[in-house]
Amino acid sequence: MPIFGIFDNNNFYASCEKLFAPRLKDRPVVVLSNNDGCVVARSAEAKALGIPMGAPWFKLQDLARQHEIVAFSSNYELYADLSDRVVQVLRLFTPNLEVYSIDESFLSLDGFSHLDLADYGRQIRERVLQWVGLPGCVGIGPTKTMAKLANHCAKNGFAGNDGVCNLLALSAVDLDDLFGRIKVGEVWGVGRKIDARLQEMGISSVRDLRDADPAMIRSRFSVVLERTVRELNGVSCLSLKEVAPDKQQIMCSRSFGEPVYELDDLLDAVATYMSRAAEKLRQQQGVAAALMVFLQTNPFKPAEPQYHPSMTLPLPDPTSDTRVLVQWGLRVVKRLYRRGYAYKKAGVMLSGIQPEGMSRGSLFDSQSSTDAKAGNLMALMDGINQKWGRGAIRLATEQQHHPWQMRRDRMSPRYTTSWDELPGVLAK
């Protein structure tokens, strides 16, 4: 029987910001989504003030002034770097690990059953705290779903207050009692909709779901929730994925800093997003067989005329060439654009992704040498941008300053990845 652990950082983005602002140690801190729109992370103090996840920041202004809440724009470079450091530490504790998200990793603890697993969990969180400076919790169980649940228990004091919960150490009676006290909505894979439907059926606790008939759950819901039921019964259905598979689709979309009316601005924005998407595509040595572009007005202003067009365009020849993708993307924008709407968001998606070189012809194709040159050019651009920072070199259509660029008024410095932004360095 496998043993899964999961390490999950507490309030990850907020903890990253506090790490470099010690004076904020006991202050309420929130981190905002792109465009400084919604609250996506809250420190313990901010949670205590009742700020819900996803709350629009502009609605919290009174509360913020009242309690001197400190808000940061999302600083993804900083968070990504700290996340990498956390993973480095975790790798010291197990050779088999799945980086599940920026702040969560599953650990295989197979073959560690001779250890006191809860104690091992405490060592893990202490080491991460000491070496990286970020707090986290550890959950342990016989399945991924149970490990996630254990993590929830560890975070919320269901099982002591040492930040670790090992469900494998509980007797059947204690597990029963614990599952009876946890709401079914806390289970991994049970979101708002499914929660409501389960409630209607009288399934309100984790124990209720665990004891439900899998066949019934499958017929009334899906094979996915059936697997969840089995996992809650200790039958492992979800395995550790140590290598992330290549993406099947690649998206890039943004809300605009302010409403956009002009076609030219939309063309600019979509060219920029398409360039980003193409970079990601090349990072996995892929080519795309289709692209999709969408535009959106602001759905939060229902009184204004709404327009949410999108169009998918199959590409005659799968490619990762920024110039080709941007050209097609811009053609689509021109087709979709209607004068008179206040556009608030746009995005692109690349799909039909295959490994490059597999596409068509290649060896005897008369185009192959021009394709190779295009590939060299793209690689050169990617290299320069990687060395000198995103946007150092770009196509002429991507200009510099734009009304559509997102707001990021409250950014902290990139303390760990940019010398220029270290406080005091400039002054010297």
Partner DNA sequence: CTATAACTCTCAA
Partner DNA sequence: CTAACGTTGAGAGTTATAG
Binding residues vs DNA (CB under 7 A): 33-35, 37-38, 40, 54, 56-58, 61, 100-104, 148, 187-195, 218, 222-224, 245, 247-255, 259, 280, 298, 300-301, 312, 314, 344-345, 347, 406
Report the residue number, 37 or 375, with the smaller CB distance to DNA. Answer: 37
Report the residue number, 112 or 407, with the smaller CB distance to DNA. Answer: 407
Report the residue number, 249 or 285, with the smaller CB distance to DNA. Answer: 249
State the helix-helix crossing angle for 368-388 and 322-336, rounded to 10 degrees. 90
DSSP state of 256: E
> Of 394, 301, 396, 297, which is closest to residue 341 (Cα–Cα)?
297
Report the residue number, 35 or 108, with the smaller CB distance to DNA. Answer: 35
CB of 66 to DNA, least distance (A): 15
Report the residue number, 154 or 371, with the smaller CB distance to DNA. Answer: 154
Is 402 exposed, middle or buried (CB count within 10 Å of its CB: 0-12, 13-18, 19+)?
middle
CB of 334 to DNA, least distance (A): 19
Buried b (16+ CB within 10 A) or exposed e, 285-310: ebbbbbbbbbbbbbeeeeeeeeeebe
CB of 190 to DNA, least distance (A): 5
CB of 418 to DNA, least distance (A): 21
Whether the CB-CB separation of 273 and 395 falls below 8 Å is answered with no
> Of 335, 259, 324, which is closest to residue 290 (Cα–Cα)?
324
CB of 364 to DNA, least distance (A): 25
- At residue 96, φ and ψ (nearest 5 deg) are -115, 115
Beta 70-73 vs 29-32: how paired, if at all?
parallel
> CA-to-CA distance for 189 and 228, rounded, in angstroms?
7
- Angle 392-397-400 from CA coordinates, rounded to 5°: 50
DSSP state of 311: E
Phi-psi region of 157 (alpha: psi -120 to 50; beta: other; left: phi over 0): left
Report the residue number, 108 or 253, with the smaller CB distance to DNA. Answer: 253
CB of 393 to DNA, least distance (A): 20
CB of 122 to DNA, least distance (A): 22
Report the residue number, 3 or 269, with the smaller CB distance to DNA. Answer: 269
